[in-house]
Structure 1
Amino acid sequence: MPLPTVEHETRPSPTWSVIWLHGLGADGNDFAPIVPELVDTAWPGVRFVFPHAPVRPITVNNGVPMRAWYDIKGLAIADKQDAPGIRASIGEVEALIAREVERGVPPSRIVLAGFSQGGAMALAAGLRHRESLAGILVLSAYLPLHDTIEAERSGANHATPIFWGHGSADPIVPMVLGEQSRQALEALGHRIDWHTYPMGHQVSMPEIADIRAWLSERFAEA
C-alpha cells in the first residue's frame, strides 16, 4: 500500500501529477502550502502529492525516531550512506508513481520533486525508474548512491529534464556537495538546469518563480 499523502488538485480530473518528497523530520504538510504560490492558472490540471515518509530512528539525532526517507549516520550527510533505507524508499516512490498511473496519469506526465533528503530521493528513484518521467525537481539536495548510479540508472530517463536549485549558504547540504553531484550527472550526459540562490537550507520566492517557469515548460511539452 502506498504511503499516506496530503494531496491538492488544481482542478477536477487532473492530467498531470507532481510527487513532492519532504525533508528529514518534516512530513507531507511541509510543502503543501507552496501550491497556491506556485500554480499558474494557465497550467493543465495538476495533482500535487505530498507523501509522509516512514518514521525511523536517525543516528545523528541520537536515535530519535522521525519521518525520514533513510537514516543519516554521519555528520557529513553523504558519508556512511544508508543504502538499504534509500533502496526501500525508492520502492515507496515507485508505489506512489504506480498509483498515479492507476489514476490515469502516465509516467510521461509525472514530475518527481523533493527538498533536501526528499530531493536526494527524487534523484535516486527518478533516474532508476524504468519509464520516462516528465521531469525531476531537486531542491537543496545531492545524489545518493552515487557509486552505483551509472550501472543502475534507466535509459528511459537519461534525457529527463532536471531542475536543481541550491542555496549558496546552505549549512546542511553544502553547495559544493550539490555541485559535485551535478557534475557527476553531467559527466554521464544528464541535462541539469542548475540554479543558485543567496540563501541557506530553504526555498525562496525567486526559486519558486524559477520552478513555476520550469514546470510550465514541462506541461507545454506534452
Structure 2
Amino acid sequence: MRLECVEQETGPAPAWTVLWLHGLGADGHDFAPIVPELLRPHWPALRFVFPHAPVRPVTINGGMRMRAWYDITGMDFATRADAAGIEESVAQVEALVAHEAARGIAPSRIVLAGFSQGGAIALAAGLRRSEPLAGLVALSTYLPGGAAAAAQRHPNAVAQPVFFAHGDSDPVIPVQYGQASAQVLERAGFEVQWHRYPMAHQVCAEEIADLGDWLDRRLAA
C-alpha cells in the first residue's frame, strides 16, 4: 500500500517532482513550510510530495512508537540502522517514484530528498537506482552501511548528483559521519556537493538558499 503523503503543487501540470522524506518522529507536514522559501520565480511547476513514514517502535527511544523509516538499535553508526526497515522504506520510496511516473513525471525529473533518517533512506534508495533520478538531497544524515553499501551500488546510480549538507554542531548525527558518507559517495563515483553550516540538527536559511541554487541547475538541465 502506498504511503499517505502531503502534496503541494506550485503550478498547473507540474513537470517535476521533489519527493522529500522527513526525520525520526516527524511527519510529512514537517518540511512543507520550506517550499515558499525554496522556490525561484522562473522555475517550472513542481509537485512536492512529503510522505508520512510508518509508525513503528524505536529501540533507542525505549521502544516508543513513532513515525520512523527504520528502527534504530544503538549508537554505533555502522550497525544502528535496522536493515529490514531500510529495505521496507526503500521499497515504499520506489512505489512513490512509480506513482509519479504513472502521473507523467519520469524518474529523470524526480529529485529525492531527505532529512536525518529520511536522508539515510534517500541515499539508500538512490544507490540502487538502475534508472537515475534527477538528483539526491541528503540533509543532516549519513549513508547506512557506509562503504559496503556504496560498493553494492547500481552502476547507473552514479549519474545522480548529490547535495549533502550538515550542521557543525549536530548532536544527533555528528558532522564527521555526514562528511565521511559524502566522501564514500565521491569515491564511489557520485558527484557530491558538500556543505556544512554553523547549526545543530536542523536546517538554516543559508542551506535552503544553497539547495535552491543546486536545484536551479538540476531544473535547467
For residue 117 of structure 1, what is the amino acid of its counterpart?
Q
Rounded Cα–Cα distance in structure 1 between residues aligned with 2:97 and 2:190: 22
Give the paired residue count: 221
Moved more, 17-26 or 71-80: 71-80
Any residues of structure 2 matched to 1:144-183 within 5 Å, and which?
A: 144-146=144-146, 148-183=148-183
Aligned to 1:8: 8
> Residues 83 and 145 of structure 1 are in contact (CA less than 8 Å); yes or no, is this contact kept in structure 2?
no
1:121 aligns with 2:121: yes
Percent of counterpart pairs with the same letter?
58
CA contact (8 A) 2:109 2:134 kept: yes
Post-superposition shift, 1:159?
2.3
Report the counterpart of residue 104 of structure 1 in structure 2.
104
What is the CA–CA distance in structure 1 between the aligned matches of 2:76 and 2:26, rounded to whole Å? 20
| 1:130, distance to aligned residue in structure 2 (A) | 1.7
Work out the CA distance in 1 between the residues paired with 2:118 and 2:80: 18
Task: Determine the structure 2 residue equivalent to 1:95.
Answer: 95
Q: Look up the equivalent residue of 1:67 and give its one-letter code.
A: R
Amino acid in the other structure paired with 2:143 = L
Match of 1:130 in 2: 130
Structure 1 Cα separation of the partners of residues 164 and 209 of structure 2: 13
Superposed CA deviations along residues 110-134 of structure 1, whole A, max 9, x for unmatched, are 0000000001110000121120110
* Contact 2:60/2:73 (<8 A) preserved: yes
Displacement of 1:48 after TM fit?
A: 0.2
Task: Report the secondary structure of 1:86's partner residue.
Answer: helix
The residue type paired with residue 197 of structure 1 is Y
Specify the alignment match of 1:71 in structure 2: 71
> Contact 2:171/2:200 (CA < 8 Å) preserved in 1?
yes
Runs of 4+ displaced beyond 6 Å: none
- 8 Å Cα contact 1:115/1:140 also seen in 2: yes
- Bigger shift: 17-26 or 127-136? 127-136
Which one-letter code corresponds to 1:43 in the other structure? W
Secondary structure of the 2:138 match is: strand
TM-score (norm 2): 0.97
* TM-score normalized with structure 1 length: 0.96
Q: CA RMSD in A?
A: 1.1
1:50-84 CA deviation, whole Å, 9 max, x = no partner? 00000000001110000000001113444333111
Q: What are the superposed Cα offsets for residues 144-163 of structure 1, whole Å, 9 maximum, x if unpaired? A: 12254244312222121100
* Separation of aligned partners in 2, 1:139 and 1:61: 22
For structure 2, list consecutive stretches of 5 or more residues without a partner in the other structure: none
Write the letter of the residue equivalent to 2:8: H
CA distance in 2, matches of 1:124, 1:55: 20
Following superposition, the deviation at residue 175 of structure 1 comes to 0.4
The CA deviation at 1:179 is 1.2
1:28 CA displacement? 0.1
State the alpha-carbon separation in 2 of the partners of residues 217 and 81 from structure 1: 33
Deviations 1:69-108 (A, max 9, x none): 0001113444333111101100000001000000000000
For 1:89, give the aligned amino acid.
S
Amino acid at match of 2:3: L
The residue matched to 1:69 in structure 2 has which SS? coil
Say if 1:150 and 1:188, in contact at 8 Å, map to a contact too: yes
Tell me how far apart the structure 2 counterparts of residues 48 and 151 of structure 1 sit (CA, whole Å). 31
Cα distance in 2 for partners of 1:146, 1:164 equals 15
DSSP-derived class of the 1:137 partner: strand
Partners of 2:86 and 2:172 lie apart in 1 by: 19
- The CA distance in 2 between the partners of 1:90 and 1:213, in whole Å, is 27
Give, as a single letter, the amino acid of the residue that structure 2 aligns with 1:126. Answer: G
